[in-house]
Amino acid sequence: MNMVKHFMRRLAAAAIAGALVVATTLSLTVENISLERMTQESHTVVYGTVLASRSQWEGNNIYTYTTLRVKESLKGEKGSTLTVKQLGGTVGEVSQEISGSPTLGRNEDVVLFLVRWQNEYWIHSIVLGKFSVVSEENRLVAFNDLNNIGLIDPVKRQEITRPNEKANHFPLHSFLAEVRSFISKQSR
């Protein structure tokens, strides 16, 4: 009987350890949406630079507030700065990490698609609404870091596995022009 108990304990321990490993390796999976749809659904679209972030406790959760200097407001609120709220962050020695939540690094140039909810700006579709702007070969590009993010095709309801279907890297000038055209089309 002791051997059975010992075996069951080891089996339970292995199952728990396995579950923890699986839980830490699973990524966020979201429905892929078109740039046009994301532009239409966003209340505000901005191109700007991250100035600062601060995290704080609100109830049982940590939230991070990131302030941007707005270079260009493509849609929605006009102003020189804007603050975005995200679930997760670090306060003191405690961190709450949200799988798939994009990071906004100080001095990082970004294009953000934002929705307004409870008087706060939130990034549309978690990771899909953030595009980093970087210089590559002397030209600016906007890219969406989909690392460890699963995308679901909204029509087929299946995970997108082919890299060319996860288009997420665009020349900035063309990207902003396309967003502007969607905004113009929406306002007609």
pLDDT of 186 reads 84
CA 23 to centroid of chain Cα atoms = 19
Q: Model confidence over 25-65: pLDDT tens digits? A: 446 676 778 899 999 999 999 999 999 999 999 999 999 99
Distance CA 85, CA 63 (A): 7
Phi, psi (degrees; rounded to nearest 5) at 17 = -60, -40
pLDDT of 151 reads 62
pLDDT of 22 reads 37
Q: What is the DSSP string of 60-107?
A: TEEEEEEEEEEEEEEES---SEEEEEEE-EEETTEEE--TTPPP--TT
Q: What is the DSSP string of 146-175?
A: -TTEEEE-TTT-SB---GGGS--EEEHHHH
CA 116, 87, 131: angle at the middle one, nearest 5?
65
Is the pLDDT at 147 greater than 50? The verdict is yes
CATH code, residues 28-187: 2.40.50.120
Distance CA 98, CA 187 (A): 35
- If you average pLDDT over residues 135-152, what whole number do you get? 80
Residue that wins the pLDDT comparison between 184 and 187: 184
Residue that wins the pLDDT comparison between 125 and 83: 83
* Stated pTM of the model: 0.78
The residue extents of the domains of the chain are 28-187
Q: How many residues does the chain have?
A: 188
Mean pLDDT score of the chain, rounded to an integer? 82
